[in-house]
């Protein structure tokens, strides 16, 4: 594949002002989509596939996707977590057709080829034929015909997998900052509270941008402002790993005073506005972390967001569906030792997030209005410059630096040029 | 009480009418009147079948007071940003599951069609309502309404009640 440099990519920083330009065709052109599947999702990256807590017992399985490739996450009898491609080694049928369940082995319904939970082929019906007729050739070696087994890495109960044998170890891929913040949230056993599935008619990378973009937060999501709940004393940071692949956005409450934060903060912290919440219990929560951080959006390249928004904890998995749509799977969780009141708090605060979330529902629409506006566009580019237009950390939230970081990484892996 | 000893047939009429009015208020965008169909300490839940059948808490919408319903509507009108759309509820018959005193438990299948400004109509959400209806006052009111939806992919977003 011959890469042709984008005509003004290198000069754009000075010719038209400092900033990153991204050609809109990366969101619409099937060629980029195919290259991403090869270079990212089946290439030199680790993709999130599950929470360990989703497959707690031996025999538990979950079917999901890496990019567009169906995979199965299993827990084997020895406790090890395996990730295999969900495709029979015989003639390519889906081996696992349910979202989740528990079974002693994996069996394809088409011809009943059976695999153990690590993906090794353990049974082929009529392998030696029937009454001396048929059967597999004499040189058929069961060991050569298992399900494709992926590399698996686990950090803080988050399961990642990679098709690549050469990709750096998971901890190095994530980097110390990301590992630290995964472990911060996953510091004790969790309990899965359920999934929410959202279908967004836009390219998955628009969501990668969205979750690295603190600039839009108070401008697009108006719930807090409308009800006078915006806390102007709140401070935040936008940080990246050394490779600029991942992004950590967080904000910290001005007060780190435990007693103050234990209160329902509506009464004491609202401004006089036209609209007031009738039921302030929605925002009643507890301070769970000593560091005072009340919001974390940890966007892990390529397909994961780990979040803490007040007392809501969730992972969001991005599953591309062609170049013009993706599925966003929100898996909510609490901690295994949550008391009844904490469970009630999480249940109610779930109203804030997810596809019907009072402070998050707009993101689906934000992605779609971009996708709808760039149809067929071959030349035009976006212009990303807030905060300086470079992949740099910031101790404020008026920046798009992490979006630039994403595109720098993307350029290295996939490139912006086309073969045409 | 609405009726001293309502017959099963009369109860079904009352609860069916309540559901019909519920759908009409949403579909006609009379959302400010919608919370008035609930008792003040109501519970309103919109939850996927996937979570409901696993006894998991995570709901798309979970309100445990009429005030929270009002807040949802004010947020829709004043804060939330979403594609322009209209709903059309298609309701199946309301089945009386049980009655205890002035509380009726009913179940009703529903489909919500969505029409956006491009003119296309799609099946946005289908499922069933599991309701508890309070018949002790002058008119029937929902004490609890759970919309358990089969449509496990929420298209773009959900802002309007189901």
pLDDT digits (tens, 9 = 90+) for B84-127: 999 999 999 999 999 998 999 999 999 999 999 999 999 999 99
- Confirm or reject contact between B93 and chain A (CB < 8 A): no
Residues of B in contact with A279 (CB under 8 A): 63, 65, 67-68, 70-71
Residues B64, B144: Cα–Cα separation, whole Å: 9
Q: What is the pLDDT of residue B65?
A: 98
Residues of B in contact with A332 (CB under 8 A): 57-58
Question: What is the residue-averaged pLDDT of chain B?
Answer: 95
Query: Across the interface, which of B71, B81, B152 has its CB nearest the CB of A362?
Result: B81
What confidence category does residue A14 fall into, taking pLDDT thresholds of 50, 70 and 90? very low
Q: What is the pLDDT of residue A318?
A: 98
Whole-Å CA distances, A76 to A51, A186, A211 = 15, 23, 34
CA-wise closest residue to A297 among A286, A313, A308, A285: A308
Q: What is the pLDDT of residue A9?
A: 45
Query: Could A279 and B72 be called an inter-chain contact, meaning their C-beta atoms sit closer than 8 Å?
Result: no
What confidence category does residue A364 fall into, taking pLDDT thresholds of 50, 70 and 90? very high
A189-203, A214-228, B23-37, range with the lowest pLDDT: A214-228
Residues A21, A269: Cα–Cα separation, whole Å: 40
| pLDDT exceeds cutoff 80 at B5 | no
- DSSP tally for chain B: helices H, then strands E: 3, 7
Tokens of B65: 């007071």
What confidence category does residue B9 fall into, taking pLDDT thresholds of 50, 70 and 90? confident
As a whole number, mean pLDDT of residues A144-171 equals: 98
The one-character DSSP state at A169 is P
Tokens of A135: 């059967």
What confidence category does residue A419 fall into, taking pLDDT thresholds of 50, 70 and 90? low
- Confirm or reject contact between B27 and chain A (CB < 8 A): no
Question: What is the residue-averaged pLDDT of chain A?
Answer: 91
Residues B14, B1: Cα–Cα separation, whole Å: 12
- Single pTM value for the model: 0.93
Nearest residue of A to residue B65, measured between CA atoms: A279
| pLDDT exceeds cutoff 50 at A335 | yes
| pLDDT exceeds cutoff 60 at A212 | yes
Q: A168: Cβ–Cβ under 8 A, 6 or more apart, which residues?
A: none
Nearest residue of B to residue A282, measured between CA atoms: B68
Q: What is the pLDDT of residue A28?
A: 97
Q: What is the pLDDT of residue B6?
A: 75
Residue with tokens 């971009």: A370
Query: Could B154 and A198 be called an inter-chain contact, meaning their C-beta atoms sit closer than 8 Å?
Result: yes
- Confirm or reject contact between A204 and chain B (CB < 8 A): no
**What pLDDT digit, counting tens, does each position of A105-123 carry?**
999 999 999 999 999 999 9
**What pLDDT digit, counting tens, does each position of A251-295 carry?**
987 654 444 444 444 444 444 567 899 999 999 999 999 999 999
| pLDDT exceeds cutoff 50 at A1 | no
Higher pLDDT, A7 or A223: A223
Q: What is the pLDDT of residue B30?
A: 98
Whole-Å CA distances, A93 to A88, A89, B13 = 5, 8, 50
Q: What is the pLDDT of residue A217?
A: 87
- Confirm or reject contact between B105 and chain A (CB < 8 A): no
CA-wise closest residue to A154 among A173, A128, A134: A173
Query: Could B80 and A222 be called an inter-chain contact, meaning their C-beta atoms sit closer than 8 Å?
Result: yes
| pLDDT exceeds cutoff 60 at A99 | yes
**What pLDDT digit, counting tens, does each position of B49-69 carry?**
999 999 999 999 999 999 999
Q: What is the pLDDT of residue A228?
A: 80
Q: A327: Cβ–Cβ under 8 A, 6 or more apart, which residues?
A: A197, A198, A199, A200, A318, A319, A321, B153
Q: What is the pLDDT of residue B8?
A: 83
Q: What is the ipTM of this complex?
A: 0.95
Residues of A in contact with B156 (CB under 8 A): 198-201, 355, 364-365, 368
Substitution target in B32, B40, B71, B118 with the highest count of A β-carbons within 10 Å is: B71
3-state secondary structure of A384: strand
As a whole number, mean pLDDT of residues B13-39 equals: 98
Nearest residue of B to residue A198, measured between CA atoms: B154
Q: What is the pLDDT of residue B1?
A: 55
**What pLDDT digit, counting tens, does each position of A16-71 carry?**
578 999 999 999 999 999 999 999 999 999 999 999 999 999 999 999 999 999 99
**What pLDDT digit, counting tens, does each position of A340-361 carry?**
999 999 999 999 999 999 999 9
What confidence category does residue A152 fall into, taking pLDDT thresholds of 50, 70 and 90? very high
C-alpha angle with apex A411: A330 to A16, nearest 5 degrees?
A: 110
Nearest residue of B to residue A191, measured between CA atoms: B56
- Confirm or reject contact between B80 and chain A (CB < 8 A): yes
Tokens of A148: 């494709």
Ranges of beta strands (E only) in B55-102 are 61-63, 85-100
Are residues A365 and B81 in contact, defined by beta-carbon separation less than 8 angstroms? yes
A286-295, A313-322, B20-29, B125-134, range with the lowest pLDDT: A286-295
List the domain boundaries for chain B: 8-149
Query: Across the interface, which of A197, A199, A279 has its CB nearest the CB of B71?
Result: A279
As a whole number, mean pLDDT of residues B21-25 equals: 98
As a whole number, mean pLDDT of residues A392-420 equals: 91
Domains along the sequence of chain A with CATH: 47-153 (2.102.10.10), 175-413 (3.90.380.10)
Query: Could B155 and A225 be called an inter-chain contact, meaning their C-beta atoms sit closer than 8 Å?
Result: no
CATH architecture group of domain B8-149: Roll (3.10)
Query: Across the interface, which of B51, B71, B82 has its CB nearest the CB of A194?
Result: B51
The one-character DSSP state at A45 is -
Tokens of A259: 């007693």
Q: What is the pLDDT of residue A261?
A: 44
B36: Cα separation from own chain's centroid:
12
Helical spans, DSSP H, in A4-93: 12-15, 30-36
């Amino acid at each position: 594949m011959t890469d042709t440099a984008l005509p003004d990519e290198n000069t754009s920083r000075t010719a038209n002002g400092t900033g990153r330009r991204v050609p809109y065709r990366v969101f619409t052109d099937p060629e980029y989509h195919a290259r991403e599947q090869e270079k990212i999702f089946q290439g030199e990256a680790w993709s999130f596939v599950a929470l360990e807590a989703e497959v707690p017992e031996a025999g538990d399985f979950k079917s999901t996707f890496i990019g567009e490739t169906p995979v199965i996450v299993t827990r084997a009898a020895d406790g090890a977590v395996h990730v295999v491609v969900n495709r029979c080694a015989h003639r390519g049928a889906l081996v696992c057709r349910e979202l989740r369940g528990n079974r002693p082995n994996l069996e394809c319904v088409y011809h009943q080829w059976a695999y153990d939970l690590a993906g090794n082929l353990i049974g082929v019906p009529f392998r030696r034929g029937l009454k001396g007729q048929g059967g597999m050739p004499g040189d058929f070696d069961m060991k050569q015909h298992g399900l494709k087994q992926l590399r698996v890495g686990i950090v803080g109960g988050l399961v990642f997998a990679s098709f690549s044998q050469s990709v750096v170890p998971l901890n190095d891929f994530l980097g110390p900052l990301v590992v630290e913040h995964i472990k911060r949230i996953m510091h004790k056993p969790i309990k899965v509270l359920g999934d929410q599935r959202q279908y967004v008619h836009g390219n998955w990378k628009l969501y990668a941008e969205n979750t690295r973009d603190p600039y839009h937060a108070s401008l697009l999501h108006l719930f807090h402002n409308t009800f006078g709940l915006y806390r102007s004393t709140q401070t935040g940071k936008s940080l990246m790993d050394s490779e600029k692949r991942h992004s950590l956005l967080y904000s910290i409450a001005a007060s780190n005073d435990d007693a103050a934060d234990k209160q329902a903060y509506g009464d004491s912290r609202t401004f006089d506005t036209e609209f007031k919440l009738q039921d302030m219990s929605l925002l009643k929560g507890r301070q769970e972390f000593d560091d005072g951080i009340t919001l974390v959006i940890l966007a892990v390249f390529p397909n994961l967001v780990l979040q803490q928004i007040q007392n809501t904890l969730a992972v969001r998995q991005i599953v591309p569906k062609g170049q013009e749509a993706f599925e966003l799977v929100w898996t909510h969780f609490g901690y295994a030792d949550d008391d009844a009141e904490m469970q009630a708090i999480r249940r109610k605060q779930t109203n804030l997030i997810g596809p019907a979330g009072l402070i998050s529902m707009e993101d689906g629409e934000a992605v779609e209005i971009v996708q709808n506006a760039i149809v067929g566009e071959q030349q035009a580019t976006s212009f990303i410059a807030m905060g300086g237009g470079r992949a740099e950390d910031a101790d404020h939230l008026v920046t798009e630096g992490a979006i630039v970081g994403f595109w720098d990484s993307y350029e290295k892996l996939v490139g912006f040029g086309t073969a045409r | 009480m609405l009726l001293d000893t309502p017959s099963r047939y009369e109860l079904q009429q009352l609860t069916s009418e309540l559901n019909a009015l519920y759908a009409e208020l949403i579909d006609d965008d009379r959302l400010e009147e919608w919370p008035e169909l609930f008792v003040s300490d109501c519970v309103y839940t919109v939850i996927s079948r996937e979570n409901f059948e696993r006894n998991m808490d995570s709901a798309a919408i979970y309100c445990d007071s009429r005030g929270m319903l009002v807040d949802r509507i004010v947020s829709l009108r004043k804060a939330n940003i979403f594609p322009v759309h209209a709903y059309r509820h298609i309701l199946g018959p309301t089945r009386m599951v049980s009655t205890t005193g002035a509380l009726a438990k009913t179940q009703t299948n529903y489909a919500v069609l969505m029409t956006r400004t491009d003119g296309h109509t799609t099946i946005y959400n289908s499922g069933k309502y599991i309701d508890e209806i309070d018949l002790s006052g002058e008119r029937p009111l929902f004490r609890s309404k759970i919309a358990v939806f089969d449509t496990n992919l929420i298209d773009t977003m959900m802002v309007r009640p189901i």
